[in-house]
Amino acid sequence: MTTQPPKDFRSGLGAAYVATRDHLSYLLTDLTPEQAAKKATPDSRTILYYLTHIANSELYWLAATGRKVIVYAKQVPLDIAIDLLDEVRSRILRELKKCSEEELSFQAPTKGEKPSLGWVISHITLHALYHSAEIIFTRYAVGGSDLPNDEVEDSWSRMMNAMAHLIFFVKQ
């Protein structure tokens, strides 16, 4: 799969975030609410935990930029967790679209200073990528069905290509 690099950091950041979230949605294909709530081992976490953790982390970091956010979620059923992730995704993309060029800088949080929105979206994108591996493991460990063939959408490659393009912009 060949992809063209984005024309600017804003579009690259949005592409990486969307591709990661699309891959996360793919990982939930045909997952039952019971499987999402089941632990792989007594000491492990559930897929529902990871989903609410991802949504809450995105809200936390969005709030760290000084923006108001919706209330954080506790453990919720699968359909509500998916709705929450969709709502947070829409909010992140709205904020990315309307933010200033200055807010797109790659400013990591330091003591007494807020992180930039550019840094936050990069961070939460990598964070969701990390947890997607745990979701895959848990899915199969709790008896989830095989994922359908993804050759057409190829969510993994789209996500990795978008991340590579994003790294290119940050490196410059």
CATH number of the domain bearing residue 81 = 1.20.120.450
The per-residue pLDDT for 167 is 67
Q: Output the average pLDDT for the chain.
A: 86
Model confidence over 89-103: pLDDT tens digits? 999 999 999 999 889
Higher pLDDT, 111 or 121: 121
DSSP state of 149: P
Of the chain, the percentage scoring pLDDT greater than 70 comes to: 89
Rounded average pLDDT over 134-139: 94
The per-residue pLDDT for 152 is 53
The answer to whether position 1 is within a domain reads no
The per-residue pLDDT for 5 is 53
Handedness of CA 124, 128, 8, 93 (dihedral sign): negative
The answer to whether position 142 is within a domain reads yes
Neighbours of 103 (CB within 10 A): 19
The per-residue pLDDT for 59 is 95
The answer to whether position 4 is within a domain reads no
How far apart are alpha carbons 149 and 166 in whole angstroms? 27
The answer to whether position 44 is within a domain reads yes
The answer to whether position 2 is within a domain reads no
Model confidence over 46-90: pLDDT tens digits? 999 999 999 999 999 999 999 998 877 788 899 999 999 999 999
| Domain coverage including residue 146 | 9-171
The answer to whether position 152 is within a domain reads yes
Helix, strand or coil, per DSSP, at residue 157: helix
The answer to whether position 75 is within a domain reads yes
Of the chain, the percentage scoring pLDDT greater than 90 comes to: 59
Quote the number of domains for the chain. 1
The answer to whether position 62 is within a domain reads yes
Angle between helices 117-141 and 78-98 (to 10 degrees): 160
